[in-house]
Amino acid sequence: MRHGRRRITWKGTALVVGGVVAGCTLVTYVPQDTGVDEPFIVEGAVGEVLDLTYAELTVTEVRVADTLAGVAEAAAAGGTFIVVDASWRATQGETTFVGAEVTDARGRRFWPTDQAGCSILAKAQPGYAWRATYCFDVPRDALDGATVRLARGDQGEEHAGQRRDAVAVVDLGISGREADELWQATETVSPQEPGYALASAGGSEG
Amino acid sequence: MTTLVTPAASGMGPGAGPGTDQGWPPSLRPGMLPGTVPPDVPVPEGRKGWWRRNAVWLVLLPVAMAVAAGASSFRVWAFWWPVGLHHEVERVAVGEQAHLAGEYYDLGLDVPERANTTVLREIDATVTSIQQVDRLPPPSWGDPVTIPDGSVAYEVGMHFAAEPKTDLSGCQIVLVADDGTRYGESTTDVLGSSNRCSTPDAAGFVSARPEWDVTSFVLADPAAKITQVRLGFGGPEYVTFDVP
């Protein structure tokens, strides 16, 4: 058994202080919030099939409407609705696609509405394509240069659910002049219920 | 006249005089003879190396690291392990019988006396057939379902044997392709049945007969090469049937 207190030596003190300084230096200067935490962005256009590893995604059509007419209810836009028709085909297993938002040229983010039968998420398995219609209520100045961001991870908490995962960003192809025309239009869109995409007319009727 | 001042000698008692001992050394307690070592004075040891002095902690370090890793990985067993098919309990060929046993927490929805208890579910299962079909039969309810473009449909026939009132909810009949793609993982099949291990006329989610047969339909990619059928009830246990 040792007797007496351990002596505080210059060598030990230097070791501890040096370790703390080295740790602080690493945390301060090594970019820990970039690289591995960023999602893998897959950019594309309307009609293009995007490979997200866990699914194939196609944004099939983009429309603008000031009114949504669903089966049970109708919804009037505060600004105007961007209606995005998309087709998901899972490639690994049953997958829930939670992430859906429109981003405008200024970086503002708009989340989907579930009014009038619009989808805010989709769920699909390998073996078939599943159709979903997302509706976003956006102001006039958000149309020009807007993109839609779709993924299996959620976009809450600064896209926390999409870190280190594939994310699709699709340019909606709306230019400044078209944005004015689209804003003036008074269209009514009836969102389709989610279902199999491109169902065969020659299939079984039982 | 010069006066010399001589300080008194330390330890010199009143009786001390010329020719006697000058007193106790500073480190020697009264009653101890010079040359003896007090019992609480540490005996100098040979200096041990750092590794020997910290041998106990060095042995405990990997244990502590293992405990810390286990404690921080609680999400694996708390959230990931119980949900999903992770533990293959038996593997047989199509046409052979497999025994699936696994515990689950019964809410007592179909059998009230089992409410809020952990129940061991045991069931014998055999894949009797697996084949592609061109059409889907009419569902028990709802509109007819067509095979979507870009898909093929498989019909999987299964034979089950279990004690009556065995809970069959959460049944998954999964087709696995050679590239690992899992088709039909959902507890609801392509015809909308949410009770895939029960006969269409079943009233609840528990078995009514000691033996019975079911047919389940699964959509798959046309190019998929199906190599396995998996049966589970939400997991983690499942059985595998190899497709020849």
Query: How many C-beta neighbours within 10 Å does residue A144 have?
Result: 19
Question: What pLDDT score was predicted for residue B119?
Answer: 94
Q: Is B182 helix (H, G, I), strand (E, B) or coil?
A: strand
Question: What pLDDT score was predicted for residue B14?
Answer: 44
User: Exposed (0-12), middle (13-18) or buried (19+): which is B116, by Cβ within 10 Å?
Assistant: exposed
Report how far residue B180's alpha carbon sits from residue A189's, in angstroms, rounded to the nearest whole number: 40
Half-sphere exposure of A179 (CA within 13 A, CB side): 17
Question: What pLDDT score was predicted for residue B85?
Answer: 94
Q: For chain B, what are the domain ranges?
A: 53-82, 87-242
Q: Are B188 and B140 in contact (CB under 8 A)?
A: no
Question: What pLDDT score was predicted for residue B128?
Answer: 97
DSSP calls for A19-66: HHHHHHHHHHHS-TTSSTTS-EEEEEETT-EEE-SSEEEEEEEEEEEE
Q: Do B147 and A200 touch (CB under 8 A)?
A: yes
Q: Is A161 helix (H, G, I), strand (E, B) or coil?
A: helix
Mean pLDDT of A102-120: 95
Q: Do A196 and B134 touch (CB under 8 A)?
A: no
Strands B117-133 and B172-177: unpaired
Question: What pLDDT score was predicted for residue A8?
Answer: 79
Report how far residue A150's alpha carbon sits from residue A169's, in angstroms, rounded to the nearest whole number: 7
Residues of B at the A interface, defined by Cβ within 8 angstroms: 42, 134-139, 144-152, 180-186, 218-221, 224
What CATH fold (topology level) applies to the domain A40-196?
A: Immunoglobulin-like (2.60.40)
Give the mean pLDDT of chain A. 89
A169 DSSP β-pair partners: A43, A149
CATH 2.60.40.1240 assigned to domain B87-242? The reply is yes
Question: What pLDDT score was predicted for residue A200?
Answer: 38
* Type of residue found at B22: Q
Report how far residue A6's alpha carbon sits from residue A9's, in angstroms, rounded to the nearest whole number: 9
Please give the C-alpha separations between residue A24 and each of A13, A20, A34, A199, in angstroms, as whole numbers.
17, 6, 18, 59
Q: What is the pLDDT confidence band of residue A61, given thresholds at 50, 70 and 90?
A: very high
Summarize pLDDT for A88-104 with one digit per residue, the tens: 999 999 999 999 999 99
Q: Is B189 helix (H, G, I), strand (E, B) or coil?
A: coil
Q: Are B25 and B34 in contact (CB under 8 A)?
A: yes
Q: What is the pLDDT confidence band of residue A7, given thresholds at 50, 70 and 90?
A: confident
Report how far residue B99's alpha carbon sits from residue B123's, in angstroms, rounded to the nearest whole number: 6
Over chain B (244 residues), the average pLDDT of each successive run of 10 is 46 43 56 63 69 93 94 88 93 97 91 92 97 92 89 97 94 97 94 88 88 96 97 95 96
Summarize pLDDT for A144-186 with one digit per residue, the tens: 999 999 999 999 888 989 999 999 999 999 988 888 888 888 8
Question: What pLDDT score was predicted for residue B202?
Answer: 83
For residue B24, which of B37, B39, B38, B9 has the smallest C-alpha distance? B9
Backbone phi, then psi, for A176, in 5-degree steps? -60, -45
Q: Do A129 and B136 touch (CB under 8 A)?
A: no
Half-sphere exposure of B182 (CA within 13 A, CB side): 17
Report how far residue A152's alpha carbon sits from residue A178's, in angstroms, rounded to the nearest whole number: 30
In the block, residue with structure tokens 């962005």: A41
Which of B146, B220, B221 lies nearest to residue A203, judging by beta carbons? B146
Q: Do B147 and A129 touch (CB under 8 A)?
A: no
Please give the C-alpha separations between residue A197 and each of A58, A88, A128, B146, in angstroms, as whole numbers.
11, 9, 8, 11
B182 contacts on A by Cβ (under 8 Å): 92-94, 125-126
Mean pLDDT of A115-143: 95
Question: What pLDDT score was predicted for residue B39?
Answer: 62
Q: Are A112 and A134 in contact (CB under 8 A)?
A: yes
Mean pLDDT of A71-80: 92
Report how far residue B236's alpha carbon sits from residue A120's, in angstroms, rounded to the nearest whole number: 30
DSSP label at residue B10: T
For chain A, counts of helices (H) and of strands (E): 3, 13
* Type of residue found at B197: C
Q: Do A206 and B224 touch (CB under 8 A)?
A: no
Q: Assess whether pLDDT exceeds 50 at residue A206.
A: no
For residue B173, which of B232, B87, B93, B113 has the smallest C-alpha distance? B232
Q: Do A206 and B136 touch (CB under 8 A)?
A: yes
Nearest 5°: CA angle at B190, between B188 and B195? 30
Summarize pLDDT for A39-49 with one digit per residue, the tens: 999 999 999 99
Who's near A114: CB < 8 A, 6+ residues apart? A120
Residues of A at the B interface, defined by Cβ within 8 angstroms: 3, 91-94, 125-129, 196-201, 203-206
Backbone phi, then psi, for B49, in 5-degree steps? -75, 165
Report how far residue B219's alpha carbon sits from residue B225's, in angstroms, rounded to the nearest whole number: 13
Half-sphere exposure of A44 (CA within 13 A, CB side): 19
A92 contacts on B by Cβ (under 8 Å): 180-182
